[in-house]
Structure 1
Amino acid sequence: MKEKKEPSSTEALMWFTDRWKTSKRMQLLLYAILGIAFYLLFIKHILPERVQIQVGMVSPETIVSPVTKIDRAATEEAKEQAAEKVDRVYTTDDRVTNQQVDKIDRFFADIRKVLSDGDLSADEKEKQVKLVLNEAISEDFQGPFYHTVAALSPDSLTDIRLKTREIVYDILKKGVRKSELKEKRESVDDKILATMIENSLDSKARIVIREIAKKSIVANEFYDEQQTEQLRDAAREAVQPIPINKGQIIVALGEVVTEDQYRKLEELGLLRKDSNFLPQVGLGLFVITILTALFFYIRRFHPNLYHNNANLLLLFSVLLLTLIGMKFIALGQNLEWNMLGYIAPVGLGTMLITLLLNIELAVVCAMILAVAASMLFNGENHLLFDFRYGLVALISGTAAAFALADVRKRGGILQAGMVAALASVFPIAALHFMLPSEGTWMVLVQSLVFGMLSGLFSAVLTIGFLPYFETAFGILSPMRLIELGNPNHPLLRKLLIETPGTYHHSIIVGNLSEAAAEAIGADGLLARVGAYYHDVGKTKRPQFFIENQLHRLNPHDKISPNLSKTIIISHTRDGVEILKQHKIPKQIQDIAAQHHGTTLIRYFYHKALQQKKDGDQVREEDYRYPGPKAQFKEAAIVGICDCVEAAVRSLARPTPSRIQNMVNKIIRDRLEDGQFNECDLTLKELEMIANSICETLQGIFHSRIEYPEEPAKGVKQG
């Protein structure tokens, strides 16, 4: 009896690695870990407990502020106090000063005419003086003053005019308010007294100067309401908002509640008739609801994800990474940066999920992240969900996912980030215009800047994290395929240098495979890159493959068909080993292992039949590739194109009809041989693949004209 062989540590590790990917217990554990992480991230963002309290009551507990928020009433009161301290602004109207001086000049000019008129009697002059004074200066002069003016000598008028003009101008240029008229007019006497010391003026002249100057002093400095309000507005703006700080005690235990304290409690939203108890239980139920919906969605629409815990772990890792980034942003949200939530990198999650998994899942996850954003950034208005951040996160994240649907270069991630940035502008602006009371124009500009930075920030983070996720989970993204398809890749360089024939063959197979895959809606990029590497195992023994022999002797002529078969078959296994050594993704390894399936190596099988001796047994299954058969469409397509390229290259005259017959025969033989039994290719798709291959081959092997030889030099033409 044979002893049961114990599995090696390597085999046990491989068994465990494969086992955990399909284990239902592991799947439940992953959901549990995600749920706990959700719960811990949101626990500080649920609504605070509200209290029943009234003004004049003794507080049964110490109530502290759960958040930092502006105390609007206190801030407004401080602003008004600052505005009241601003003095009223007065502006001097120089036009009034000039008008009064002009009146004095006109008055003395008219008086000079009256006093110089020799035809007028003394009484007539006095009457004329009265008319001029009443019209030019004022009607409030006393009767004797008219007589005094009429008795002046015309020669003295010049000095009187200049002194009067000087006094009036000096007083008015400093500004005279209406409330200061009496004081300013009395200052005329002081001016005249100073003039008496400097100049010898008679009593009549001083009387005239005094009365006219006093009547000429009028208010020319007026209250500037607009400028005063501007200064008061500036004083209001200079006042820093008075916050109710997080952790600040609003009402202490045993303290009688005042109106101001009650107002603060109301401002913070802490007053409620009904108690809001068990918020933690509610949060737990909410998280369970979200995860349950996600579970059934994945089970119904993404069976590959549902049956593969590795992909599920990838999805949850991306979600947690995004949520942690959002949490850090939420910690920085404060009174001055209350719109910081718009910068949350929601696009990081949706872009990574689009690139690594699929866009449908990314859109659903954008909804989950939008709900998370609504809760994480709810500190400003004290609602459980701040829909503003959720709406912007949903639109921005979804736009980023759609922008990456067909991306082929890493530069496309930045373009997707710009699309997400622009997409966030519209909901932010719409919300601001619909809720203008929520903020000023400055707040709008700040919000728009944060929203646009979110898209760009997400793109940069996606570019940074993408290679790590690709490597850790063996994901083959379009960008990774583009990099693997670069001719400067070490393996492709090795293929070109050591096996140039195989390299050329692989390039043509890649072109055929890409066109055929795209014709049926499969991944053309995966098919092309997989074709580049499908024969990399031939680099181990390049001389045993005819495309690399270059007119040299065929080594198979000197060895047995069985050994030749072994060498030929080994190139698939060798290729997988080489690809593993260079850490080429699993899908490319699968194409290298599956492109021959279990097909028969006909040449060496028939050669063995011809060389067999009596009693020898040549079995067909010994001359077949070990497989496995193609498990997915791209592997089957590469296998077809690999066989077609070699067969068509052997045709002497590759006409379109001969090419078509050859392609149809190869596909029919593989179909009858059961090589497509384990992949989901339909007969219609096989027909489309054949048509695509024929079109591509006809372009490669198109007919060319035969160029005439050039005549030898010195030979005369014609």
Structure 2
Amino acid sequence: MKEKKEPIPGFSRWFGSEGWKSSLRIKLFIYAIFAIALYLLLINHILPKQYEIRLGKPSPATVVSPVTKVDTYATNQAKREAAESVEPVYIKNDRLTIEQIGKIDSIFVTVKDWLEKDRRDAKQFKAAFEATFSQTFSDSFYQRLLKISPDRLQVIRLTTRQLVSDILQQGVRKDQLSEKQEDVDEKLYLSVNALNSNEQALVSELAKKSLIVNEFYDEKQTEQQKQAVQDAIKPIPINKGQIIVAYGEVVTDDQYRKLQELGLLKKESNILPHMGMLLFIVTIIGILYYYIYRFEPKIHQDNMNLLLLFMVMLLTLLGMKVISYGQNLEWYMIGYLAPIGLGSMLVTLLLNIRLSLVSTVILAIFCSVIFNGENHMLFDFRLGFVSLVSGVTAAYALANARKRSAILRAGLISSVAAVVPVLALNLMVPTEATLREWLQSVGFAMLGAIFSAVLTIGFLPYFETLFGILSPLRLLELANPNHPLMRKLLVESPGTYHHSIIVGNLSEAAAEAIGADGLLARVGAYYHDVGKTKRPQFFIENQLYGNNPHDRISPNLSKSIVISHTRDGVELLKAHNIPKPIQDIAAQHHGTTLLKYFYVKAREKLDHEQVRSEDYRYPGPKAQFKEAAIVGICDCVEAAVRSLSRPTPSRIENMVKKIIQDRLEDGQFDECDITLKELKLIGKSVCETLQGIFHSRIEYPDEPVNLKGAKKA
């Protein structure tokens, strides 16, 4: 509807001269306030609850993890322990073993040659031996060696060789050399051999001197094995829902550390969740803004409609917030009681169903956030999905509602529909809930839908009054013939009442033909002439037997009486708290048209120069919206057609075209956004409706005399 109103003083300075209802600054301000309200309502459901907990003191509450998070400290500790358990990797050098065995063989070859030459001087032998092998032995070793007969050298050599080979094959590390040398005597003692004590002493010393380090630490392979073991350690999580510390339990170092990592201590602050929440809200509002801008231009241009939408959504979210306080581990399913249907139904009734569906999707997302607490999920889409189905069903059930009882019916339909997703979710994971919990979930879902309907019935009149909105239900209540004003019109001005009923039928059909609000046009037509009840006898439709009081008064007085019925009607409508759009139709249906009958009559009685046409025009205003223009056309057409002696289709059509053309040329549609094409459709619709009203009838013949006689007989 197009309304011309002066902007509120001061608003034009800050929010533009076009008025606050269409000001861009006001629009952005409303969106900003809505965003801030959303942030305040939802932030506690995103941020984890923080506690005042001290190390070594009893915990004031049972604290569970709100998220699944890798326990970095525990994971690193496990990796360190695993790495420490890895044995160092040593690589044995077999070439050194072979070299040592070869040295032993060379020693005995040298000794054999020395003995065969019959050289028994120990000092000379020692000097020659050490010069050859760079090995130092005890003096007793040389003395015993020179006393050995050549035929025993082979036994000694093989025994020494075997002993050294066995030990070196096992590998000798640097830190094991002394230990391995000490093992020589034990192995020699346990071995089966035919050596005497001198020979065993020779073997023992030679074997000990022949043992060397042949196994070396491999740092690279050791580190590789440690890394492989660490990589095999899986991250140790702090699971969502895991109890970190129980109520009354003394807080340990490990528990305190976990609380710090999870940000559950009050002294810990993290700005990232706040930033994420802001981005989330900005995204949702951005989507909503674009949808309204792109697909709902009328709502986008009217800040009152935006304010209404956001108030309804915030009211619904507040209802969810209140219910969320009752949610806990035992009663997590209480979230199904969320009154999302309140928002769906109010937006459907007060704005339109398309916007209601979009709002329901957004409210369902917010519902999944608000009721996420006890399930430790950022979004509990189970509750969001049930809310979405319930809200969408309620919106569809209220489409084209014509009475307030339809709200309760929509609530019942929505309650039945809500059972389906609840059962579906429980059947998909049947082990998560008991039969008792199933029944509770179904009961809460059904009760939530009915509760939403009750709240809608309660809040609807307040929104209608506060925003001056005429919902279909309110219009239908006003169309009730038992309304006090309608009864007053019928009793005091019966002719005007029947005239208004016909104008209402004409207006509704014409409005629907051009996509306007047919119900508003019809109800507005019912009340457009209610001001005539103040002086009903001065209007021709209420005059009986041709008694016209205008014949006895001056044209100027008659003009004043007739013109005053619009003003009287508005005052009467205000007194009965009839919504403003109906008042506007009553004030605007004549616009500034000329009272031709009294104007011509005045010119006949007075000097033409003394009579001005401006004095015989209605005060206006002209029609500001389509429904007011339609009622004005139909009002004039109905009265004019009744004056026709023979209302044939062609005469009706010509009359309708002339009235519309005259009003157009008189500028009565200049302040209304109605088009020539729409005026043509209005004329066509009015003609079709009038032809149905003023159709020709068959003239019934008089009864024959014999039939009358037969009847009497």
Q: TM-score scaled to structure 1, two decimals? A: 0.66
Indicate the residue corresponding to 1:454 in structure 2: 448
Indicate the residue corresponding to 2:72 in structure 1: none
Alignment partner of 1:412 is 2:412: no
Deviations 1:438-477 (A, max 9, x none): 3234433332222222222111111121112112221101
Which amino acid in structure 2 is aligned with residue 674 of structure 1?
A: G
Indicate the residue corresponding to 1:310 in structure 2: 304
Indicate the residue corresponding to 2:323 in structure 1: 329
Per-residue deviation at 1:595? 1.1
The 3-state SS of whatever aligns with 2:469 is coil
Alignment partner of 1:604 is 2:610: no
| Contact 2:244 2:259 survives alignment (8 Å) | no
Indicate the residue corresponding to 1:636 in structure 2: 629
Which amino acid in structure 2 is aligned with residue 593 of structure 1?
A: A
Which amino acid in structure 1 is aligned with residue 623 of structure 2?
A: A
| Contact 2:532 2:539 survives alignment (8 Å) | yes
Indicate the residue corresponding to 1:487 in structure 2: 481
| Contact 2:652 2:687 survives alignment (8 Å) | yes
Could you tell me how far apart the structure 1 residues matched to 2:488 and 2:41 are? 50
Alignment partner of 1:686 is 2:679: yes
Indicate the residue corresponding to 2:666 in structure 1: 673
Per-residue deviation at 1:502? 0.7
Could you tell me how far apart the structure 1 residues matched to 2:707 and 2:254 are? 121
Structure 1 or 2, whichever has the larger Rg, is 2
| Contact 1:352 1:462 survives alignment (8 Å) | yes
The 3-state SS of whatever aligns with 1:689 is helix
Alignment partner of 1:532 is 2:526: yes
Q: 1:395 to 1:23 in 2, by over 3 A?
A: same
**Larger deviation: 59-68 or 346-355?**
59-68
Indicate the residue corresponding to 1:664 in structure 2: 657
User: After superposition, where does 1:501-512 map in structure 2 within 5 Å?
Assistant: 501-512=495-506
**Larger deviation: 353-362 or 671-680?**
671-680
Per-residue deviation at 1:659? 1.9
Alignment partner of 1:397 is 2:391: yes
| Contact 1:342 1:389 survives alignment (8 Å) | yes
| Contact 1:299 1:306 survives alignment (8 Å) | yes
Could you tell me how far apart the structure 1 residues matched to 2:591 and 2:551 are? 26
**Larger deviation: 40-49 or 503-512?**
40-49
| Contact 1:569 1:625 survives alignment (8 Å) | yes
Which amino acid in structure 2 is aligned with residue 506 of structure 1?
A: S
Indicate the residue corresponding to 2:332 in structure 1: 338
Deviations 1:593-622 (A, max 9, x none): 1211222221122222222326x3333333
The 3-state SS of whatever aligns with 1:603 is helix
Could you tell me how far apart the structure 2 residues matched to 1:628 and 1:489 are? 27
Deviations 1:91-139 (A, max 9, x none): xxxxxxxxxxxxxxxxxxxxxxxxxxxxxxxxxxxxxxxxxxxxxxxxx
User: After superposition, where does 1:538-553 map in structure 2 within 5 Å?
Assistant: 538-553=532-547
| RMSD (CA atoms) | 3.8
Alignment partner of 1:573 is 2:578: no
The 3-state SS of whatever aligns with 2:610 is coil
Which amino acid in structure 2 is aligned with residue 629 of structure 1?
A: K
Indicate the residue corresponding to 2:419 in structure 1: 425
| Contact 2:263 2:270 survives alignment (8 Å) | no
Which amino acid in structure 2 is aligned with residue 46 of structure 1?
A: I
| Contact 1:269 1:382 survives alignment (8 Å) | no
The partner residue of 1:376 within 370, 376, 382 is 370
Could you tell me how far apart the structure 2 residues matched to 1:400 and 1:486 are? 26
Q: 1:689 to 1:64 in 2, by over 3 A?
A: same
Q: 1:444 to 1:306 in 2, by over 3 A?
A: same
Indicate the residue corresponding to 1:585 in structure 2: 579
Q: 1:68 to 1:450 in 2, by over 3 A?
A: farther
Identity of aligned residues (%): 65
Could you tell me how far apart the structure 1 residues matched to 2:614 and 2:497 are? 30
Q: 1:716 to 1:392 in 2, by over 3 A?
A: closer
Which amino acid in structure 2 is aligned with residue 538 of structure 1?
A: K
Per-residue deviation at 1:484? 0.3
Which amino acid in structure 2 is aligned with residue 473 of structure 1?
A: F
Per-residue deviation at 1:48? 1.9
Indicate the residue corresponding to 1:613 in structure 2: 607
| Contact 2:11 2:20 survives alignment (8 Å) | no
Per-residue deviation at 1:67? 6.4
The partner residue of 2:512 within 510, 514, 518 is 518
Q: 1:282 to 1:411 in 2, by over 3 A?
A: same
Per-residue deviation at 1:303? 3.6
The 3-state SS of whatever aligns with 1:380 is helix
Q: 1:65 to 1:269 in 2, by over 3 A?
A: farther
Q: TM-score scaled to structure 2, two decimals? A: 0.66
Could you tell me how far apart the structure 1 residues matched to 2:548 and 2:665 are? 32
User: After superposition, where does 1:182-261 map in structure 2 within 5 Å?
Assistant: 249=247, 252-253=250-251, 255-257=252-254
Indicate the residue corresponding to 1:562 in structure 2: 556
Indicate the residue corresponding to 1:183 in structure 2: none
Per-residue deviation at 1:437? 4.4
Unaligned 5+ runs, structure 1? 1-10, 52-57, 70-242
Q: 1:417 to 1:246 in 2, by over 3 A?
A: farther
Q: 1:48 to 1:252 in 2, by over 3 A?
A: farther
Q: 1:588 to 1:248 in 2, by over 3 A?
A: farther
Could you tell me how far apart the structure 2 residues matched to 1:347 and 1:697 are? 43
Q: 1:509 to 1:14 in 2, by over 3 A?
A: farther
The 3-state SS of whatever aligns with 2:590 is coil
Per-residue deviation at 1:545? 1.1
Deviations 1:30-72 (A, max 9, x none): 3344333322222321142799xxxxxx889969545699xxx
Per-residue deviation at 1:499? 1.2
Indicate the residue corresponding to 2:104 in structure 1: none
Per-residue deviation at 1:332? 0.9
The 3-state SS of whatever aligns with 2:312 is helix
Indicate the residue corresponding to 1:213 in structure 2: none
Alignment partner of 1:474 is 2:468: yes
**Larger deviation: 284-293 or 581-590?**
284-293
Alignment partner of 1:48 is 2:48: yes
User: After superposition, where does 1:98-247 map in structure 2 within 5 Å?
Assistant: none
Could you tell me how far apart the structure 1 residues matched to 2:291 and 2:707 are? 84
**Larger deviation: 517-526 or 463-472?**
517-526
Deviations 1:122-158 (A, max 9, x none): xxxxxxxxxxxxxxxxxxxxxxxxxxxxxxxxxxxxx
| Contact 1:63 1:252 survives alignment (8 Å) | no
Could you tell me how far apart the structure 1 residues matched to 2:440 and 2:614 are? 73
Indicate the residue corresponding to 2:39 in structure 1: 39
Could you tell me how far apart the structure 2 residues matched to 1:410 and 1:711 are? 55
Deviations 1:460-498 (A, max 9, x none): 111121112112221101110111011111111111122
Could you tell me how far apart the structure 1 residues matched to 2:398 and 2:337 are? 20
Per-residue deviation at 1:257? 3.9
The 3-state SS of whatever aligns with 2:611 is coil
Could you tell me how far apart the structure 2 residues matched to 1:704 and 1:47 are? 78
Deviations 1:337-393 (A, max 9, x none): 211111111010110011011122212211221121111110222111111111222
Could you tell me how far apart the structure 1 residues matched to 2:588 and 2:480 are? 23
Q: 1:503 to 1:457 in 2, by over 3 A?
A: same
Could you tell me how far apart the structure 1 residues matched to 2:578 and 2:10 are? 21
Could you tell me how far apart the structure 1 residues matched to 2:366 and 2:335 are? 11
Per-residue deviation at 1:589? 1.0
| Contact 1:49 1:276 survives alignment (8 Å) | no
Per-residue deviation at 1:286? 3.0
Unaligned 5+ runs, structure 2? 1-7, 67-240
Indicate the residue corresponding to 1:75 in structure 2: none
Per-residue deviation at 1:23? 4.9
Q: 1:386 to 1:265 in 2, by over 3 A?
A: farther
Could you tell me how far apart the structure 2 residues matched to 1:14 and 1:531 are? 35
Deviations 1:281-304 (A, max 9, x none): 433443344334434433443343
